[in-house]
Structure 1
């Protein structure tokens, strides 16, 4: 059994088993559903996607345990992973962490362990995070009503104080502790540290202390990466006068990836990826060019909250990042699926 076999056995087996049980024992349904190669712009077969959606709501105990694989199968898996590991050896991969993978404890544990695993086999991950739900929770405790315009948080000074406290003081240090516990070396930072990110107000300051990236100094990041540690970055930065700004974590991740010359940018989301038709689960786009994604935006097939993510990916690719992926963070081990298999875990955008 190779790496693809592991994906089938450990990750997609529940989907195939569910489909087989629905299809019955008829010989017309004899061949198992397989994930398509992600190097083509194709969609999941509908039966697999239906079963995947069903499996997302199932408990981890429904998955085939890895310890049931024979020693030979495990060695075969490691052997087949070699080309992927070699391809990304010493390459920087920037991961923006958020969504369900941040709220669900089992998914969070999987993401952290996958991040440490990737670091151990020679990749150079950089972890960028937001923390919107936790910010809202603390604002609620203090009786401050969150306000949003165009998907961006309107941030006054009182809100900014909470944002910085939660993102930098709580969420960031919690993630660092989890990485250290998993055997990695996490180093917690925010954009203020070593003047890593210099901010400026968004929309002329109409959103208050919501900022965008003015410039990035990656000196401190490169030193941390060179040491073998994993930078964990909260998306809070300051302007030239030292005033704090809340920066969208997707935007921060994209600009950091571009400044570092990263091999890959990955955005963890709560959707399967880019869909040709959001009402059609059979329309997932597996790979697409910048020109192709711009066409989908112009046609209105990419809309709402997906537009800023797509724009973030396009900007990073235009500045030298090799590939950018929007992946389904609700899938266990989605990072490993995206990096160490051809199937991937969402949509990959290429230049």
Structure 2
């Protein structure tokens, strides 16, 4: 099957793509990504982009003289820092929407705290067995996708940033992979694609021969606690998506130009399916 016929066979499906890693900071990769997303749209696939902005946020905090503190590998987000986070995310979203526009699409940037898109509650973490307060960091508890659907139904590409509203309308910094998964579940998406800076999920990192090509949700739930800590949030997001009804989640190497169109989703990287399904 050619790539064109493969894309045509998935016409009308919805795919959520988490844009991140090197693709976010490398201009050539970003242009290739935008070209791929526009090609998906022309093939009749409904694409939604979500994004975070870790490196850019860190740079902006330094530029503004705001110290970053990490506990258990997670950024402590103060009331001062969270507004920087939102400013950076809004800028990234606008730039990405402009890139998609230059590639021939109509795209709209949506901040996750707008239109009640993402609602979250504060969430801490544990370090050495003790609960740690991370400040204005949250876990998504609800998604209102109407603004995203409005853009899709008009033939556009929504670009959604990972920021949420908490109690009392406070801003909460949320994990971008988790935001992508939550949105995929809310939209009953057919695909969730997570771009990262490695080739996929490894059973025994850094053993390059342990790359997992395909795994179902039940197997992944068993494997999850054994993974390297850096991969757990991304893999947990993929697992949440397929357990919540998303057809498939794919972890792919965003360092590869045109990875979205180089071959059918999941032919490279790692594909996670619900336990009862088999990848065709």
Normalising by structure 1, we get a TM-score of: 0.73
Question: Which of 153, 161, 165 is the aligned partner of 2:83?
Answer: 161
Question: 2: distance between equivalents of 1:142 and 1:342?
Answer: 40
What residue is the counterpart of 2:208 in the other structure?
281
Question: Which of 165, 171, 185 is the aligned partner of 2:92?
Answer: 171
Structure 1 207/113 Cα, relative in aligned 2: closer, same or farther at 3 Å? same
Matched, 1:207 2:134: yes
Larger radius of gyration: 1
Question: 2: distance between equivalents of 1:268 and 1:103?
Answer: 13
What residue is the counterpart of 2:114 in the other structure?
193
What residue is the counterpart of 1:126 in the other structure?
48
Question: Which of 265, 272, 297 is the aligned partner of 2:199?
Answer: 272
Within 5 Å, give how 1:47-66 maps onto structure 2.
Answer: none
Report the alpha carbon displacement of residue 343 of structure 1 after superposing the two structures with TM.
Answer: 6.4
Question: Which of 10, 15, 27 is the aligned partner of 1:105?
Answer: 27
> 1:13-35: per-residue Cα shift (whole Å, max 9, x none)?
xxxxxxxxxxxxxxxxxxxxxxx
Report the alpha carbon displacement of residue 238 of structure 1 after superposing the two structures with TM.
Answer: 1.0
Question: 1: distance between equivalents of 2:236 and 2:68?
Answer: 25
> 1:59-95: per-residue Cα shift (whole Å, max 9, x none)?
xxxxxxxxxxxxxxxxxxxxx2344223321111000
What residue is the counterpart of 1:330 in the other structure?
255
Report the alpha carbon displacement of residue 281 of structure 1 after superposing the two structures with TM.
Answer: 1.6
Report the alpha carbon displacement of residue 342 of structure 1 after superposing the two structures with TM.
Answer: 7.0
Question: 1: distance between equivalents of 2:188 and 2:251?
Answer: 18
Question: Which of 151, 173, 192 is the aligned partner of 1:224?
Answer: 151
Report the alpha carbon displacement of residue 240 of structure 1 after superposing the two structures with TM.
Answer: 4.4
Report the alpha carbon displacement of residue 203 of structure 1 after superposing the two structures with TM.
Answer: 2.6
Does the aligned pair in 1 maintain the 2:138–2:173 contact within 8 Å? yes
Does the aligned pair in 1 maintain the 2:250–2:265 contact within 8 Å? no
Question: 2: distance between equivalents of 1:243 and 1:342?
Answer: 37
> 1:199-256: per-residue Cα shift (whole Å, max 9, x none)?
2111398110111111111111111111110000111111242111111100100000
Structure 1 141/284 Cα, relative in aligned 2: closer, same or farther at 3 Å? same
Question: 2: distance between equivalents of 1:343 and 1:265?
Answer: 11
What residue is the counterpart of 1:70 in the other structure?
none
Report the alpha carbon displacement of residue 121 of structure 1 after superposing the two structures with TM.
Answer: 1.1
Matched, 1:346 2:269: yes
Question: 2: distance between equivalents of 1:144 and 1:309?
Answer: 27
Structure 1 94/343 Cα, relative in aligned 2: closer, same or farther at 3 Å? closer
**Partner secondary structure for residue 241 of structure 1:** helix
Does the aligned pair in 1 maintain the 2:252–2:266 contact within 8 Å? no
Q: Which runs of 5+ in 2 are unaligned?
A: 126-131, 275-280
Does the aligned pair in 1 maintain the 2:118–2:142 contact within 8 Å? yes
Question: 2: distance between equivalents of 1:220 and 1:165?
Answer: 20
> 1:298-330: per-residue Cα shift (whole Å, max 9, x none)?
4x2x22111111111111111100000111111
Q: Which runs of 5+ in 1 are unaligned?
A: 4-79
What residue is the counterpart of 1:84 in the other structure?
6
> Where has structure 1 moved over 3 Å in runs of 4 or more?
none
Matched, 1:313 2:234: no
Question: 1: distance between equivalents of 2:181 and 2:118?
Answer: 12
Structure showing the higher strand proportion among its residues = 2
